[in-house]
Structure 1
């Protein structure tokens, strides 16, 4: 069964940090076969501070967990957290 990161995020407040995160994320995504999954517009129907929702798909839940725990992602995550406030959950399933 596939694994997913579901990310609820606020607006980007530090565009430079977001650019650094994007550069660091590319090779990590490739290593783990991570793919951004498009969610229908309006998927975020109840929110207090989040304005964006993203889903990142992995071939398995184990890959999703391993990617999050990878030291390279730990470095990248620090830039993401500088760029905007977010919440991230890791789930197992199949989003079609």
Structure 2
């Protein structure tokens, strides 16, 4: 069964940190066969309060989704993501089709 990260974030307040996160994320995402926003129709953000962005990251399995998050390289990259904006990240198991 596939695994997903659901990331709900506020506006990006530190563009430099976001760029660094993007650079660090690329090889990590490739390592875990992650696909960003795999749906044909992006999710609609409703009743968002402070949120401005929704990102879905799809992994071949739930185990890979959790392993990616726990990977020391991702934890290093995550520091930049959290500096770039406030966000919530949930890890889900299932199929989105």
CA contact (8 A) 1:38 1:54 kept: no
Question: What TM-score, normalized to structure 2?
Answer: 0.94
TM-score between the two structures when normalised by the length of structure 1: 0.95
1:29 alignment counterpart: 29
The alignment's C-alpha RMSD in Å is 1.2
- Counterparts of 2:22 and 2:45 in 1: how far apart (Å)? 23
Structure 1 segments of 4+ aligned residues over 6 angstroms from their partners:
none
Deviation at 1:46, TM superposition (A): 1.1
Once the 2 structures are TM-superposed, how far is the Cα of residue 77 of structure 1 from its aligned partner?
A: 0.2
> Are the equivalent residues in 1 in contact too, given 2:21–2:78 (CA < 8 A)?
yes
Shift of 1:38: 4.6
Q: Which runs of 5+ in 1 are unaligned?
A: none
Which sections of structure 2, spanning at least 5 residues, go unmatched?
Answer: none
